[in-house]
Chain A
């Protein structure tokens, strides 16, 4: 059985995820996305992984959500508050979501995963640091290069002077 903390966290996470997609205003949507990402950080704490939880809060809630918030503020006001969508497409999307959830959920419940319980002690986070610096060091260097490249690329893209309204092809 699940405990009360788990229930509260799952309600917060799933509710915020739905709100992030369905709120009329994109600004409230990005704040709700922050709630969903913070809820996932709470799940990481429940899973005895405080290091990943801290990383999640620092990177997702701290930087990605704020980056999204600033981009939303750069966009014209009526685009933030209007929602364009096809109702038929919306019902098809809800159907797809339900089929996926019920299908995957019944598959998982029928599998033998129910018998897995945590009786081992939690992993020490020092072990992760050791992993990073010994076995995974090429991946760590590559990740640093990718991050540097992507940030440079994002800056170059966002500061392009030659992109104007006249390039519209219509």
Chain B
């Protein structure tokens, strides 16, 4: 294998940067969920890369747990978006202002 750990690490940093850009700029709730998914995937990529290069199975196990928990998080997040959409007829987070003082 000619790829090194640092190559995977740099791809993971790029994905993290894109995800944080999406979270900071987008106002559409569904797009913010996309950004969260991208960040979680960057973390998983790092976990698996380190597990491969340090030759330890813990990283892969933790990545599997992380994927399963991310699935649960998306299910709840989408349900929340649907409830908010039925309330406000919009998915723009600037329009969700029930809790605004």
Which residues on A are within 8 Å of B, measured CB to CB?
A: 1-3, 6, 10, 13-14, 17-18, 20-21, 26, 29-30, 33, 36-37, 40, 43-44, 46-49, 51-52, 55-56, 59-60, 63-64, 67-68, 71-72, 74-76, 79, 83-85, 89-90, 92-94, 96-98, 100-101, 104-105, 108-109, 113-114, 116-118, 120-123, 125, 127-128, 131-132, 136, 139, 143, 146-147, 150-151, 153-155, 157-158, 160, 163-165, 167-170
Do A47 and B97 contact each other (CB < 8 Å), given the known contacts A33-B34, A52-B63, A108-B13? Answer: no
Partner of B13, one of A18, A56, A104, A127: A104
CB contacts (< 8 Å) of A164 on chain B: these are 86-87
Interface size of B by Cβ–Cβ distance < 8 Å? Answer: 76
Which residues on B are within 8 Å of A, measured CB to CB?
A: 1-11, 13-22, 24-28, 30-31, 33-35, 37-38, 41, 44-45, 48-49, 51-53, 55-58, 60-61, 63-65, 67-76, 78-83, 85-92, 97-98
